[in-house]
Amino acid sequence: MTKLSVNINKIATLRNSRGHNVPDLIQVAKDCERFGAQGITVHPRPDERHIRYADVYDLKKVVTTEFNIEGNPREQKFIDLVLEVKPTQVTLVPDTDGQLTSDHGWDTVKHKTYLKEIISLFKSHGIRTSVFVDADLKMIEGAAGIDTDRIELYTELYAKNFHVNKDKAIQAFADAGVLAYECNLGLNAGHDLSLDNLKFFKENLPHLLEVSIGHALIYDALYFGLENTIMMYRRQLQ
């Protein structure tokens, strides 16, 4: 079964907007696990506009499922954080300064040497590694040469085109999934996956190990409630 990791960045954004501890990020993470989430994802950024670095240390003490930290490893502060916290998985994302949200994957060919070095560092500390990539076969092949454990497919393009032509929208991702499996790369996915498009995505990528979902899931929780929403997403992955 594909695991559901809940990204709680949006909970931190809401908390930070008032300057107090409401909602309580740590309690929400614990509740997500209690409601059926099989992992917790955070993506701290240098400006700490949502998840703060202190949050990551606090979460490490309470998360009992898989803990996934996303971020740009070119930030030394991020590297130090990951090595100290030792999450289940680190997902390397090529964010640029001031970027609103993740919007592209790594060029695994151009940055092969750097990625191989940083992946080796994290793996030497027993941390599973995943690299954020577009559904581009050249980038999948490149990922196979950097010794990463997994890749995470950037799925915005799929979500954007799903209601236009879902069969066409899924094709590049299905092809990427097949190649990743042939290259012995574990397969994750994330970005704009939702209750509308998740089931079809899962059906066409049979080797999908994990999805990381935040924005859509928190939006749905406003209407359906957090516990019910997590159960609804879990059902899409069965």
Active-site annotation, residues: 43, 70, 191
- Tokens representing 97? 């300064």
* Partners of residue 39 on adjacent β-strands: 5, 66
DSSP three-state, residue 117: helix
Spatial distance between the Cα atoms of 83 and 127, rounded to a whole number of angstroms: 8
Long-range contacts of residues 118-126, Cβ cutoff 8 Å, at least 24 apart: 118/73, 118/79, 118/92, 119/92, 119/146, 119/147, 119/148, 120/147, 121/79, 121/83, 122/82, 122/83, 122/90, 123/147, 123/149, 125/83, 125/86, 126/86
Q: Name the residue among 193, 174, 184 with its Cα closest to residue 232.
A: 193
